[in-house]
Structure 1
Amino acid sequence: MATLELNELTKIYDDAQGREVAVDSLDIDIEDGEFLVLVGPSGCGKSTTLRMLAGLETVTDGTIEIGGTEVQHLAPSARSIAMVFQSYALYTKMTARQNMAYGLKHSTDLSKAERNREVEDIAELLDITELLDDKPDEMSGGQKQRVALGRAIVRDPDVFLLDEPLSNLDAKLRARMRTELQQLQTDLDVTAVYVTHDQTEAMTMADRIAVMNDGELQQVAPPEVAYDHPANEFVATFLGSPSMNTFETVAVENGDEIEFRHDGTTLAAVPHDTVECADGEPMTLGLRPEDVRLSDDPTDGTFAADVTVSEYQGNDNFIHLSVEKHDLMARVPSDVYPNPGETLGVTVSPRDVFLFDADSGIAHKTRGLPDEQPPKRSVSNP
């Protein structure tokens, strides 16, 4: 295991079709044994970043350091990394044993017997011993993914790189493999960088997440910190399912409070010392669906909203509402199931109000009140 440092890492594609900055001055320090997840929408630069780390893409500018040594100029085989691909990338004419041993055969001086022992040890760890003499077309998707993981693990690299390795699996198997991957990474105590567009994977698997958009790093933080204390509106709306509700509002001073009004309706109010903004200043108000409280009495709450659709989800219900012709989503217990057309009272606690600059999207207020500090969590390994 080793530290991994990305310093001003940049990738620019410049061809006849124009100039595109795919990754723009990325700075991330990844600790020994840390599980970092790069997450963001399609085209944000996360896979390009991973390919630069692997040596599959050239670096336009900046450096990559593994264990304090710059490697951006080295061939992939000289970087002490192992990569697991979305498509598994197994050799179809080889057995699982041959696939897993292939890297050892070409990068070490181990004998065939020694390579077989290494492969069998890892196969036992991954519970795929019975597959060692099978070829990929005889395996399920989950089995192929385990073989691909085994091929990476057997090389004993300093850094694991995983490029959306679970996206080809069905939902049930994907959930199980998420748990297995986390346990495996903990047991191996290896530094790992995992790429996904699925924010659920990012939130459940990572020690820290690095949120990217349009080639730029938006925030690096433990999942719960990024969720409760996003750096900007993009991070706030990208993380969470259902997504955060947002409203364009105007700040209005009212005694000891500042109210935030949308088309004349007060949607939320916070103590005056909670946020710095001028009377009449436009602000983007954010409300997470789980923080929206509903009442049968339309007069019991900050404002009233009309129910448009109720979606039963098992443990929860998603209630779609309309307020001043603007959509609002509430996530409520399953025993709360209002009918379309009902008018409900809506309340949001001041501590649950998120506020963002209307122009830049930078966060002015996240979850909590002034005397509540963002939680801190260190990354540690057993």
Structure 2
Amino acid sequence: MIIDWFRTLLFTTLIFMAGVAAAATGPDQGAHMTDKGKKQMVATFAGGCFWCVESDFAKEPGVIKVISGFTGGNVANPTYKQVSAGGTGHVEAVQVTYDPARISYEQLLDVLWRHIDPTDSGGQFVDRGSQYRSAIFYHDQEQHDLAEKSKQALQQSGRFDKPIVTQILPFKTFYVAEDYHQDYYKENPLRYKCYRRNSGRDEFLEKIWSKEIKKAAPMTGNTRYHKPDDATLRKTLTPLQYKVTQKEGTEPPFKNAYWDNKQAGIYVDIVSGEPLFSSLDKYTSGTGWPSFVRPLVKENIVEREDHKLFSVRTEIRSRHGDSHLGHVFSDGPPPTGLRYCMNSAALRFIPVDQLEKEGYGEFLASFK
């Protein structure tokens, strides 16, 4: 296989250095408790190269840990070399430990669908062979039922022209891959980016899921949420609004429009007008910026890794306006445990009594 040759060429040194035997986990891995008594859950997915699948799941808020490994085969303690040869029956897979209070199993399924080609039974993208096929390995009946429901919904959505062939199988045993495969996207960022860029994965996903933006529901009449050209933005935005939304700037804490706003209403993107947050989800975080426990319309929120300030944070942007809004942190209050810390300069507030007039009447019911 081309990709196996490519991997071998890039990582021969690492393979020789990896001498740790793979560990196995059994079917009793479903829910477990942390030392503090907080419930965690486990999910197992296959979607081609586990470097990419691990990276995609690890970025999701509420995901605690992602491990790359092998499952679904008939050979105990397989090595990567054995699995990649295609003779063990295993697939490359990831085991996801997550906090169900912050991210649901249904949401994890959605993450999987958005990062694979569920119509390909012969592998995934440049990786060919049954060892790279997509699959959902359910740990209990609830996961099975949710997976079947989600698969059916995707099939009926019309997103794909071909049948959805991703398998839904009972989880049995998971074997942890060699150490050099774990956190590969972080430990070897240049090689990982080179592989991913040439794998065809992102090109395919952009083609399929960009339709979501093009088919976005209109705000009123035939007007869609969109980003004006730069010349228009410079005329309509204040210098601070432009700096924050277009240059990823940050406004001063406690000296901005909405940090202490207690009026009822919604917050929309200052650039595109797409609805983002509700006052019903706003709380006083003490940070000096408007903070929310969840988005009003999740589909309008895009998360990206931010490596500025010598740390890795999760940046929040608007989907249609592509505006920098702020960041999300995991130190928020119940029920989500999240803090969407936003810049007032990226938002426009619409009071409840103006929602109908401004074209956001669909959100009135939540305030009654």
Q: TM-score, normalised by structure 1?
A: 0.26
Rg bigger for which structure? Answer: 1
Q: TM-score, normalised by structure 2?
A: 0.27
Structure (1/2) with the larger strand percentage = 1
